[in-house]
Structure 1
């Protein structure tokens, strides 16, 4: 069976701009989960967040685009960010080349992850694993690759520690 591609809100739909500058391409070998690190309330507009994140990433950080390839909002909606053919960016020491980066909007050191977000992480990760032949033991979090961060936050990380997310990904890949 095939994992169906999840519904993804495109850059055009959320009002994003094209990447700026050039970067070398890469091959996806890992899926890495991040959180935004900033609280994200129910009253926030995820499309505005995406536009602001892109502007900050390009203007203030001088990155080609949003550092992540996908972002997930509080309701589990998935947004297209940086094109997958380009490596992401990070503020820590790990090299994100070869990683498909998924950012969950919010700060899961203080916020509670929602079931819809966990399902979106699992579905998107399973689809990426299938498309790029990424083994489930190569699906992890930012803090698994860096000693300089608590990302994706304690409340999200516990679902990796207890196997909930990887087990769900494996189940999706077998359906």
Structure 2
């Protein structure tokens, strides 16, 4: 009787071995998942940026710590209303004057723009908080969340004022780098207003260009006729930079990158 039981057990063990041997390997589901994973989304590398420490921002007048929002869904272009014939070596002094005006005269916590570019194409860190992080600026009333404010150092109200090409190149490099992956700089975006002093009452949706001028959401002539007329060119060139990206920056899909930036990664 015992020998029959042992024989039966041996048969069962043999069957079990055959089933396990012929069954799917444990890593097969992962292989299938990898086969259908989305292609990585690439954005341009971070451009060279002059830090606040390098232009000697007055940290003693900054009132509050930086606040962070989501990755940039849109970019707003501004001008600072400074003169245009400055020596680019004087740009740091001009930036400190802009910061003082924003804090002491406007009552803001810090300089409002996230970035400022001069006529020579130099990019300066604006508002404190880290250039790689989604810092909420004070540049576009009602639409500071999930956006980036880039200001051209100068005045472009007169439509005949030439906009220096290095300045345009710098604006495009920042926009191409800071817009969240998967965003088309030539496209449109829906943003919700947070301030009724904008052109859109608080809580209302606004259909805007991904790269817009300040005037598109607020009652102002900023960034001036000359610079505003360059926005189609800026959008197109920014899109070209993103399409040509070599992948030296982030490779995460848009939503994952947004969560990463919002968490301070």
TM-score by length of 2: 0.59
What is the count of residue pairs matched by the alignment? Answer: 170
Q: 51, 70, 80: which is aligned to 1:36?
A: 80
Contact 1:29 1:133 in 2 (8 A): no
Contact 1:20 1:65 in 2 (8 A): yes
Q: Highest CA radius of gyration, 1 or 2?
A: 2
Task: Quote the offset at 1:59 in angstroms.
Answer: 1.8
Matched, 1:104 2:152: yes
The DSSP-based 3-state class of the residue aligned with 1:40 is coil
Give the corresponding residue for 1:69: 114
CA distance in 2, matches of 1:145, 1:96: 11
1:122-161 matched pairs, under 5 angstroms: 122-130=172-180, 134-136=183-185, 137=187, 138-146=210-218, 148-160=219-231
CA RMSD of aligned residues (A): 2.1
Does structure 1 conserve the Cα–Cα contact (< 8 Å) formed by 2:215 and 2:223? yes
- Could you report, residue by residue, the CA deviation over 1:61-80 in whole angstroms, capped at 9, with x for unpaired residues? 22111010000001010000
2:53 aligns with 12
Q: Which structure has the higher relative contact order (CA within 8 Å, separation 6+)? A: 1
Which consecutive unaligned segments of at least 5 residues does structure 1 have? none
**Corresponding position: 1:88 with 2:133:** no
Query: What's the TM-score once normalised by structure 1's chain length?
Result: 0.86
C-alpha contact (below 8 Å) 1:26/1:87 kept by paired residues: yes
CA deviation string 1:31-78 (max 9, x = no partner): 111011232323461000111111222222221110100000010100
Tell me by how many angstroms 1:24 deviates. Answer: 4.1
3-state SS in 1 of match to 2:154: coil
CA distance in 1 between partners of 2:67 and 2:240 (Å): 34
Cα deviations by residue, 1:110-167 (Å, 9 ceiling, x for unpaired)? 332111111111111101125x654412121111222x1111111111111xx21111
- In the TM superposition, residue 93 of structure 1 has moved relative to its aligned partner by 5.0
Tell me how far apart the structure 2 counterparts of residues 59 and 53 of structure 1 sit (CA, whole Å).
Answer: 10
Matched, 1:25 2:72: no
Q: What is the alpha-carbon distance in structure 2 between the residues aligned to residue 66 and residue 78 of structure 1?
A: 15
5+ residue gaps in structure 2? 1-41, 188-209, 245-265
